[in-house]
Structure 1
Amino acid sequence: MTAAREIELKLDCDAADLAALNLHPLLPSTDERTIALRATYYDTDAGDLRAAGLSLRVRRETGPGGERVIQTVKAQAQGAGLFDRAEWEQAIAGPAPDRAALDDTPAGKVLERAGEPEIAARFSTVIERVMRPIRYGASAIAVTLDRGRIETPGGAVPVCEAELELTEGDPADLFALAQALVETVPLRLGALAKGERGEAALAGRLDRPSKAERVPLDPGADAGEAFTAVARACLRHLRLNEAVFLDTRDPEALHQIRVALRRLRSAFTLFRPLFAADPAAATLRDEIKRVTEPFGRARNLDVFLDETLAPEIERRPDEAGLHELRALLGAERERAATAVLAILDSAAWRGLIIDLVAWIEAGPWRRAAKTERSRPAEEFAAEVLERLRRRIKRRGRRLDRLEPEERHRVRIEAKKLRYGAEFFAGLYTEGKARRRHKAFVTALAALQDRLGALNDIATAHEIGADLVPPERRTADDFPDPAAALFSAGLVAADVEARARTLLEEAAQAHADLLEVRPFWR
């Protein structure tokens, strides 16, 4: 059995949005088909297939042409929205998995290595699917509108999503259609396939923030393929946490959104030679920064309240001004979080994300002459990482005596180097290189931690300085602004007392990093 390639753009929505799409003038219902799908996902008790990045599904399809049962093995989806992954499918006789039919798939080999363990059902999906073939631009696109649920032992999870699959023509037409739809219907880039959503529901992870995942890189990849994998991973990280923040306002989800955005902007910087002839890269990078500027204030208030002020209140529970300060800044945090939600709920934001994925997958940079883009990723990575290390070495001399602005520049360079080391980790997985990578990232993290703590101190000063003066507040607004301002100064003095120790530790961490052998050499 040979693997087919499935390329589709997934868009999340709610039931009302799906109804709007069903009537959308860009999606005429000519040749529409409606089918009922009931699928069950399987794995071993030890999760052997999940560990290998595979899923196994048996699906009963009932439609105008009758009924059939299809067994499908899929490789794990990479990135968000655009799922370009291998799949192996075959018609089978009954509702249970056909073990013999798995022999020609990677799943069969995984099960063989595991000693042929039993496989059991994990969860099911029940979906009503509307399918419409349409023409858009010069291309043929299969539009799928899915509504239903994922059934797990812990309850049901609703499913409402649209999928656009390019069956013939130019990928740019696929993204142009998505951009046109997003202008009138509040669609969001999808981050999870149904199988992944079911696994997340089983594990209780759907409403939890998530950290960046390892970027899957083929050691033989070129620089262009490496950038695509990195950018997809950043968008996936962003969308997973965006969904959580929209539902829960969890501060950690906001933090991870900002991490994803910083990683994405760093990727644009690290891979800049690939985009020399494509000005859209700089435009998109700048637009990400502009649109998300308010995210920083919301995150800074979260850190100050939870990591700086809370310990101060614990040490001085009778200091009334600290409680006044918490109330004041708590209200500020709510306003800042509301501003973030307004951005995430805007059509401009949703459109920007679609613009990003369209440029990543079908932008002019992909059609440019193969120069930097076709270089081996490992060679490209070594050059980028070496340049960043030299910059940190030069700028970090006498780190404990640098002015705050200069120290901040070292912190930014260290962050880029850390992201680069994480992005390219998949190229260094063998023996000595893997051990060197781990040692290098550990040393780099120690430097980042100290520089980050120093940055938090600077932020604490800024928050105190930004407090509204007492004469501009009324008793109705805030009972004792003077006490809050006094306490803000007290907190700033306490955190500043840690600065000298942190500076010495940062200088030592910088020296330690330079002693560690770079893993890319």
Structure 2
Amino acid sequence: MEAGPARTTSLSSTYFDAPDLRLHKAGVALRIREIDGGRRLQTVKTRGDGLFARGEWESAVERREPDLNSLKGTPAAGLFSADEPFDALFTVAVERTVRQVTRGRSRIEIAIDRGRIFKSADPVSAIAVGEVELELLAGAPQDLFALAADIMAAAPLRLGVASKSARGHALLEGRLNDVANAQPVPFGDEPSAADAFRAIANACLVQLRMNEDVMLARRDSDALHQTRVAIRRLRSAFSLFGPLLRHARTDELKAELKRLSEPLGPARDLDVFLAETLADERERRPDESGLLNLEKQLQTQKAKAYDGALATLRSDEWRRLVVELAGWINVGAWLRSRDEQIARQIAGPARDFAATVLEKRYRQVRRKSRRITKITDEKRHDARISAKKLRYGSEFFADLFADKPKRERKRVVFVKAVKRLQGRLGALNDVATGHELMADAAQTGRSRSAAFAAGVTAADGDARADALLKEAKETRKALMAAEPFWR
């Protein structure tokens, strides 16, 4: 790798919007950047794919306020009238050190930013900025991700998923370090199957990283849950798009993701058991003193489980895996399949691919959930996994089938039905997991009263399973009655 000379400049970028934040709501950012030497640049940016590629329109301006004439031809054009005021929202002030490097056959700019983001109305209220940004100037995107992997091997960095604009708005709205739920995935016009996979998988990575940061800042049960949701959604995306991703590296990354994320499971299981099952049991049996001892025992186990989960998230293996996943999703060899049939599917319409996948997953759920009250726990678990993938697929592909209000109404009814079935099967799985926890607690309990309480709790859970089975049967009927929205 060859590196050019470094140069450092001071940058001050103020972000503007209307009082009703219409640009932000439309996924558009408008800023004016002041650079050493007195130059000013007005820039309009869009969210793009939500992670790496963003639309950008730049023009030189004279003043420190937005120039409406310079907005022509940008996504911000037409959103403001000539006499409307702009509000200065926040400013990003950094020292930027830039160096160009040659990696393989590519030219890449490395920008290191150090500084802060502060509210325009309250400059004292600020958050720190410290990041390394890579931009491909010429060449192959694979070289950029390879360079990112090298940098992360040398320094304890993490993949950044929140733009400075997004962080400024979070500061403005008091949402810093908030838990991130899954969001709808928007697609561009006439997306290919490859476009759809990248948009979906990138959205999963964004949710994963945002909740990972919350977990690293504090032990938050909701952040742990949403981190696991993001991982499950990502694994489901790999499964749903499996026919397009046939490659040894895909299998390796899936196996690594499963292996490294396993320590998060016990912590979540204990969270659910303590907050729901044991809380209900204490309300049901207020005079059972052993339940308090059982709770103390499980809280100790939970603390250790969180230690294991955080050790995973802090590990070099985990940091590198996230970047490797990002590289594979966006520029991996799966995009250049030598199989002509797969190559046609990759380049083909996302909607056609989605309809085929959803139909296949729907039939799997229908087949695996037959005689749901009679099948084994293992088969019901398998049916739950299939229902989960059908639900995630229905949510992932929503934008592809939002062309008609009637179809959207059908989708809402269908997703609600599959979500209910998944919920009942999930509750049955929680009973089975709780049974295992109670068996272990009875054997390892520090007191006889805790062991006795564990046995009673397990028995009550088994009794609850009968009602859940009946509910699962009814929710399956409702799903079979719901009309598949993709047909």
Indicate the TM-score class for this superposition, using the shorter chain for normalisation: over 0.9
Which of 92, 103, 114 is the matching residue for 1:147? 114
Q: Look up the match of 1:75.
A: 46
Structure ranking higher on relative contact order (CA contacts 8 Å, 6+ apart):
1
Instruction: Name the structure 1 match of 2:467.
Output: 501
- CA distance in 2 between counterparts of 1:508 and 1:241 reads 35
Matched residues in 2 for 1:47 and 1:79: separation? 19
Given that 1:207 and 1:248 are in contact with CA atoms closer than 8 Å, whether structure 2 keeps it comes out as no
Question: For 1:188, what is the secondary structure of its paired residue?
Answer: coil
Matched, 1:262 2:232: yes
In 2, distance between residues paired with 1:199 and 1:346?
30
Residue 58 of structure 1 aligns to a residue in which SS?
strand
Alpha-carbon separation, structure 2, partners of 1:116 and 1:96: 13
> Which residue type is aligned with residue 27 of structure 2?
G
2:475 is equivalent to residue 515 of structure 1: no
1:238 aligns with 2:208: yes
Q: Post-superposition shift, 1:40?
A: 1.1
One-letter code aligned to 2:49: Q
1:195 maps to 2:162: no
- 1:86-485 equivalent positions in 2, closer than 5 A: 86-111=55-80, 117-152=84-119, 153=122, 155-276=125-246, 278-369=247-338, 370-430=343-403, 431-467=405-441, 469=443, 478=446, 481-485=447-451
* Post-superposition offset of 1:27: 8.3
- Paired AA for residue 494 in structure 1: D
Change (3 A) 1:515 1:367: same
Distance apart, 1:460 and its partner CA: 0.7
Letter in 2 for 1:163: E
Alpha-carbon distance between aligned partners in 2 of 1:456 and 1:219, rounded to the nearest angstrom: 41
Moved more, 216-225 or 183-192: 216-225
Q: Which residue identity does 2:428 align to in structure 1?
A: L
Contact 2:435/2:461, CA 8 A, preserved across alignment: no
Distance 2:24 2:44 in 1: 11
Deviations 1:326-358 (A, max 9, x none): 111111111111111111111111111111111
Query: 1:483 is aligned with what amino acid?
Result: S
Instruction: Report what 1:12 is aligned to.
Output: none
Distance 2:227 2:2 in 1: 32
Kept in 2, the 8 Å contact 1:217–1:226? The answer is yes
Matched, 1:43 2:17: yes
Partner secondary structure for residue 128 of structure 1: strand
Distance in 1 (alpha carbons) for counterparts of 2:76 and 2:188: 20
On the 8 A contact 1:39/1:125 being kept in 2, the answer is yes
Cα deviation for residue 117 of structure 1 reads: 4.2
Q: How far 1:314 sits from its partner (Å)?
A: 3.8
Stretches of 4+ aligned residues off by more than 4 angstroms: none
Using the size of structure 2 for normalisation, the TM-score is 0.95
The number of residue pairs the alignment matches comes to: 479
Distance, in Å, in 2 between the alignment partners of 1:96 and 1:144 is 26
Deviates more, 1:309-318 or 1:428-437: 309-318
Range with greater deviation from structure 2 (293-302 or 212-221): 212-221
Tell me, which stretches of 5 or more residues in structure 1 are unaligned? 1-25
Cα deviation digits, residues 135-154 of structure 1 (max 9, x gap): 11221110000011110248
CA distance in 1, matches of 2:373, 2:316: 46
Deviation at 1:93, TM superposition (A): 0.4
1:464 and 1:197, CA in 2 relative to 1: closer, same or farther beyond 3 A?
Answer: same
User: Residue deviations 1:462-486, cap 9 Å, x none?
Assistant: 111122635xx7xxxx4xx221111
Deviates more, 1:413-422 or 1:97-106: 97-106
1:8-64 deviation per Cα after TM superposition (whole angstroms, max 9, x unaligned): xxxxxxxxxxxxxxxxxx785x421111111111111212111111111111111xx
Structure-2 change in CA distance of 1:253 and 1:116 (3 Å)? farther
Post-superposition CA distance 1:370-412 (Å, at most 9, x none): 2221121111111110011111111111212221111111100
> 1:103 offset after TM fit, Å?
3.0
Assess, with a 3 A threshold, how the Cα gap between structure 1 residues 349 and 253 changes in structure 2: closer, same or farther. Answer: same
SS of match in other structure, 2:64: coil
Distance 1:109 1:455 in 2: 53
What TM-score do the two structures reach when normalised by structure 1?
A: 0.89
Offset at residue 497 of structure 1 (A):
2.3
Aligned twin of 1:11: none
CA contact (8 A) 1:77 1:193 kept: no
Contact 2:442/2:450, CA 8 A, preserved across alignment: no
Distance in 1 of aligned mates of 2:154 and 2:456: 51
Structure 2 alignment gaps of length 5 or more: none
**Shift in Å at residue 116 of structure 1?**
6.6
Supply the distance in 1 between the matched residues of 2:183 and 2:2 (Cα, whole angstroms): 35
Distance 2:136 2:484 in 1: 43
Residue 151 to residue 77, structure 1, CA distance change in 2 (3 Å): farther
Inter-CA distance 311–468: structure 2 relative to 1 (3 Å threshold): closer
After superposition, what is the alpha-carbon deviation per residue over 1:68-117, rounded to whole angstroms, capped at 9, x for unaligned?
A: 1111111025344xx201111111101111122223321122335xx974
CA RMSD of aligned residues (A): 1.7
Please identify, of 97-106 and 387-396, the stretch whose mean Cα deviation from structure 2 is larger.
97-106
The answer to whether the Cα contact below 8 Å between 1:219 and 1:427 also exists between their aligned partners in 2 is no
